């Protein structure tokens, strides 16, 4: 996984058919997804509950690109090895999930994965200042985490601040929540390079009609490359 700052689309399988993950993952990748975003929720850190390590491990053989696992769980550290074993390429933990984010990032790196840190909308850019030499990705939440299909919360200023703090470091800026052709352009302009999108990619399509997934991703790409 060589670092580059080209813009990548990472469909969130939170918006996929939960009875058909393998086919859904293959469909979005066939249609041009750059990464596959996997939302893990624990019903405690966030009000919703999705899936855990055995399910994520079952997704792995279907993912040919990058498996980007977003943990919305607390505590985190005791599960890191299970997600390494499940085959996560990128493992992202929330800074709000516990008092020891530095230790969590160290443990994710030690387990052989790229490490991400996610920031809820209420958490400032400066909170990651002292992590920038050790992380691979900062995820800027543009909704309060827990559900797909929520209204976008504008965090363009935070993205711009992070982009300037990051400088030449090989750190991705990922956006998660409410990304669509309307919201994507200003985020990319501010410095984001990984766009997570759930509803905007999956809406109107299915594994029997996957072309729509491709059209939805193209619409997002066109919005910022125009």
Catalytic residues: 39, 176
- Write out the H or E segment, with its range, that includes residue 137: strand 137-141
Q: Is 176 in the site for ligand DX5 (CB under 6 A)?
A: yes
List binders of Zn ion among 126-165 (CB under 5 A).
none
Axis crossing angle, helix 21-30 with helix 211-225, rounded to the nearest 10: 50
**Choice from 8, 9, 15, 138 touching ligand DX5 (CB under 6 A):** 15
Of 91, 37, 24, residue with least CA distance to 65: 37
Find the DSSP H helices in 31-183.
Answer: 53-59, 80-86, 101-110, 156-166
State the residue number with the nearest CB to Zn ion.
70
**Choice from 14, 76, 80, 184 touching ligand DX5 (CB under 6 A):** 14
13 neighbors 37 (Cβ within 8 angstroms): yes
Task: Name the minimum Å distance from CB 169 to ligand DX5.
Answer: 24
**Choice from 63, 71, 179, 187 touching ligand DX5 (CB under 6 A):** 179
List binders of ligand DX5 among 96-155 (CB under 6 A).
143, 145-150
Q: Is 73 in the site for ligand DX5 (CB under 6 A)?
A: no
Q: Is 70 in the site for Zn ion (CB under 5 A)?
A: yes
Q: How far apart are CA 95 and CA 112, in angstroms?
A: 20
Q: How far apart are CA 89 and CA 224, in angstroms?
A: 26
Applying CB under 6 A, the residues found at the interface with ligand DX5 are 12, 14-15, 37, 39, 70, 143, 145-150, 176-179, 196-200
Applying CB under 5 A, the residues found at the interface with Zn ion are 39, 70, 176
């Amino acid at each position: 996984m060589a670092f580059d700052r080209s813009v990548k689309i990472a469909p969130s399988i939170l918006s996929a058919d939960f009875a058909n993950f393998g086919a859904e993952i293959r469909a979005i990748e066939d249609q041009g997804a750059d990464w596959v975003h996997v939302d893990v929720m624990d019903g405690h850190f966030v009000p919703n509950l999705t899936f855990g390590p055995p399910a994520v491990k079952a997704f792995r053989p279907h993912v040919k690109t990058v498996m980007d696992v977003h943990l919305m769980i607390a505590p985190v550290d005791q599960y890191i090895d299970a997600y390494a074993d499940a085959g996560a390429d990128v493992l992202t933990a929330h800074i709000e999930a516990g008092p020891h984010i530095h230790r969590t990032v160290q443990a994710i790196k030690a387990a052989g994965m790229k490490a991400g840190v996610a920031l809820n909308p209420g958490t400032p850019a400066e909170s990651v200042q002292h992590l920038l030499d050790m992380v691979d990705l900062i995820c800027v939440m543009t909704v309060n985490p827990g559900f797909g299909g929520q209204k976008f919360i504008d965090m363009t200023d935070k993205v711009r601040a992070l982009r300037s703090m990051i400088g030449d470091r090989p750190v991705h800026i990922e956006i998660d929540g409410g990304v669509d052709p309307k919201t994507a352009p200003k985020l990319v302009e501010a410095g984001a390079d990984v766009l997570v999108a759930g509803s905007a990619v999956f809406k109107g399509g299915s594994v029997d009609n996957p072309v729509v997934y491709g059209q939805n991703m193209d619409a997002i790409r066109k919005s910022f490359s125009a």
